[in-house]
Structures are given as C-alpha cells and as structure tokens.
Amino acid sequence: MTRETKLGLFVLLGAALLVLSVVLLGDFQLQRRYYLNVLFDDVAGLPSKAKVKIAGVEVGGVKDIVLEGKKAKVRIWIKHGIEVHRDAEARIVSTGIIGSKYLELTMGSSAETVLQDGDAMYGINPISFERVIAEAMEKLDTLVSAFSGPEMEDFGRNLSTTVANLRDITETLREGMEDQETKISGIIDNTHSFTQDISEITSASKENITAAVKDIRSVGERLDRILAKLEAGQGTIGKLMSDDEMGNDLKLTFTDLKETSKEARRVLKRINLIETDWNYRLRYDGKYKMYRYDVGLRVIPEAGKFYYVGVSNAGEKSEEVFDPEVRGTIDFLIGQQFGPATVYAGALRSKGGVGVSVQPFWKWEPWRRLEIHAEAYNFSRTAPVSMPKVNVGGKFPLVRWASVGAQVEDIYYESNLNTYVHLEFKDDDIGYVLGLVGLAR
C-alpha cells in the first residue's frame, strides 16, 4: 500500500468520525419525525431533553423550552406514524415523588383532526407541591397568630372578670346562710314542742296502748300454731317444706328458670352486639381529571375488630378518556384496632395487601379525629416498575357520618393526588340479621 493510499484512508476515517460526532452531540435523529408546540403556564422543572410518552410508551422527546410571552413553549418531536388529534391532552408527570419528569400525551379521539408539523396545543398545568406546601404553611401561621393576637388578651381579661363574678356569688351565698341561722333555730324549737305534745298524747292513751299490746300477743300465738303445723307437714306449704323429693323438684325448676334467663340474655346480647355501616367514598383524581366511586359494607362483630367488603372504582370504563386504573375491583379486609392504631389485611383492589391507620393526636381534641393511613398491595407487580402499589393519605371527620381527606395514589409510579369525601351510615337491620345468622350457627 502506497503512502498516498494510507493518507487517503486516514482522511476518510477522520471525516467519518467527525460526521458521527456531529450526529451524536447535535442530537440528530435519522428516523422520520415531526414537531409540535405545547404551551404551559409553568413547566414545573421539566428538563429540556425529557422524554415524551403515550400510555407509558416512549414516542418522542423534548427539543427545547422557550418563553413565549407569558407562556412556556415546549417544542417536542414525535415519531413519524403516531397521530395526535386536536383534542389530545398533555401534562407533566413524574415517575415518583422525587423521580424524573416527562411529558405525558394522549392521542385524542379519532373524530378530531390530526395535528400537523408545527401545530400548537395547550397543556394541562401541573400541580406544584411546593406551592401546596407554601399555602399550608401560610394557613398554619395564620392559625398560630390567631392564638397569640389581641383576641387572646381579651380572652384573658374576660376570664379574670368571670373569676371575680364567682367570688361575688360565693360571698352572697355566705351572707344568705347567715340569714338562715335564725330560721333553723326556730325549726329546732318547733321540733322540741312537737315531742312534748307526743308525750302528753301517749300519757292520755295508756289504756288504748295496753289493748293494742294484748292484740299483738294474740297474733303471735296464732303464728306459733301455724308454724307448728308447717313443721308437722300439714297443708301444701308444710308438705313442700317436709318432703325432700318435692323440694328437689322445686330446686331443679328454679335452676332451669335461671339457665333459661341466662340463655335469653346471651341471645339478646348476640343479636345486639353486631354493628354494620355502609361506607361511600367519592374521589377526585387530580391527575386524570375524573371522579371515582368506592362503596362497601363494614361489619363490627365486637369492639376493636371489623370485616370490610366492597368495590373500588365502581362503574363502567369510558373508552374516550384514558384511565389506567382498573374498574370494579374487590376489597375484602379483616382489621383489628390497637389503641389509636388500626391494622388491616386481605384483598385490596383485587390484590393481596396490608394497611395501617393511625390517629397521631389521639390525646387532644379536636385533632384526635385526624387519621393518617398507608396501604400497600399488588406486591408481585413487575411493570411499569417492580414495586408494589403504595397509597398514603389522611382524613378528618367533620361530623360523625362525614369526613374529608386526600391521598397520593401509587407513589412509586403514578404519584397522583386524590381528594375525597367519605360518608358512613349505620344500618341496624343488617346487624340484626347477621346476629340471627350467628345464633343459627
């Protein structure tokens, strides 16, 4: 090989490496694609090279993010052949609470026109957890200020006035008792006069008293004769007292009556012991902008123990709206209460799972009603992540039968916030029927 040939091969190799470097570093793609513009009020930390997914499958990426007026314009590219319709939705999501963020697209309905290269669409603004925490801290600061402001000074002055009024009332009562001493002395004098009158009456009625004593003696003699007949076994009562067999029969009769009354009390206690209540929960999924319904029946056979059977995400699934959650899953749980904590396990949304709820402020009103809960299920999940589904949240009862709450669903993948209203109605008829069934067993 000549020197000129070697030099030519070296130049060709260098040019090839230069072209490859430009392609890699410049993010060039050899596959066909087209571009769309998505407008947001806030991109919430979306990286400029983030992925674009549809139904969890990567279909493109973010080209760049620029400010256009008061909006953030995200320029994305989509693989050729994937059609996105005019009514498609775009939202910024993350793979977990602290996971990486990406752009989630829906394809829209086929009835709408298909977006072309360079078209624009409006995205759904993400929920900023930093903003939610900041608003919560502002409300907490307002609450603390309410307990340390001039209103508390007025409360202290009112309390001092109340104590002074109580002191005046006790002084008035003491003076009133002094006024009643004279009346009490008069009552004692009247009692003494009454006893003197009784003495005079008894002195004048000695003969009548003597006759009454003789009558009492006669009655005593008659009672002695009756008792003698009873001891001799004369008459029905005498036979009952002297006949051992009849006495044993009577004793057995009273024993049977006692056992019957005890069994009746047990039956009534068993019927009234079981409590049942209906549970209805209306959830709003903030990520997918839809309502979900959970309904179930809780059975409490004894204090601190319960069974729960119900349906989560009830209703039919809509084909027009993307919904990753399975409809009509079954819940069947067994739970036990341990002081302010409750542990339960069984079938959660048709998967094996466990959960726990705690009342962290159970010693203080009204905060003792606040309940924090966490539950995990579907431990065998391998896609899209190899982690179980974990839900964490809390609720606060407004009245005995109504509560409000919020929880983060599937924190390892979806991490979407659900707010809900929980209603609970007691049903004595079902508890009565279950009590009768338990007796039949």
Q: pLDDT tens for residues 373-428?
A: 999 999 999 988 999 999 999 999 999 899 999 999 999 998 999 999 999 998 88
Average pLDDT for residues 67-94, to the nearest whole number? 93
Average pLDDT for residues 53-82, to the nearest whole number? 93
Average pLDDT for residues 219-246, to the nearest whole number? 73
The first and second tokens of residue 18, run together, are 């230069």
pLDDT greater than 60 at residue 27: no
Average pLDDT for residues 347-374, to the nearest whole number? 93
Whole-prediction pTM? 0.42
Rounded (5°) CA angle 168-169-172:
90
How would residue 242 be classed by pLDDT, with cut points 50, 70 and 90? low
pLDDT on residue 152: 65
pLDDT on residue 167: 85
How would residue 206 be classed by pLDDT, with cut points 50, 70 and 90? low
pLDDT on residue 28: 52
- d(Cα 300, Cα 435) in Å, to the nearest integer? 11
C-alpha closest to that of 434 among 300, 295, 265 = 300
- Asked which of 83-97, 127-141, 285-299, 418-432 is least confident by mean pLDDT, the reply is 127-141
Q: What is the tens place of the pLDDT at every residue in 333-345?
A: 999 999 999 999 9
pLDDT on residue 353: 96
pLDDT on residue 189: 79
Q: What is the distance, to the nearest Å, from the Cα of residue 255 to the centroid of all Cα atoms in its chain?
A: 49
pLDDT on residue 147: 59
Alpha carbon separation from 284 to 39, 324, 407 (Å, rounded): 25, 15, 10
pLDDT greater than 80 at residue 246: no
pLDDT on residue 38: 95
Q: What is the tens place of the pLDDT at every residue in 98-110?
A: 778 999 999 999 9
pLDDT on residue 226: 82
- Candidate ranges 117-131, 234-248, 352-366; pick with highest mean pLDDT: 352-366
Alpha carbon separation from 83 to 80, 88, 265 (Å, rounded): 8, 10, 73
pLDDT greater than 90 at residue 220: no
Alpha carbon separation from 131 to 102, 170, 386, 418 (Å, rounded): 20, 56, 31, 17
Interhelix angle 428-440/244-273, nearest 10 degrees: 140
How would residue 204 be classed by pLDDT, with cut points 50, 70 and 90? low
C-alpha closest to that of 282 among 292, 296, 271, 272 = 292
What's the topology of domain 274-440?
A: Lipocalin (2.40.128)
pLDDT greater than 70 at residue 239: no
pLDDT on residue 191: 77
- Asked which of 12-16, 54-58, 70-74, 300-304 is least confident by mean pLDDT, the reply is 12-16
Average pLDDT for residues 68-76, to the nearest whole number? 93
pLDDT greater than 70 at residue 238: no
Q: What is the tens place of the pLDDT at every residue in 291-306?
A: 999 999 999 988 889 9
pLDDT greater than 70 at residue 314: yes
pLDDT greater than 80 at residue 319: no
- H or E segment and range at residue 158: helix 150-204
Do residues 37 and 123 make contact, with C-beta atoms less than 8 angstroms apart? Answer: no
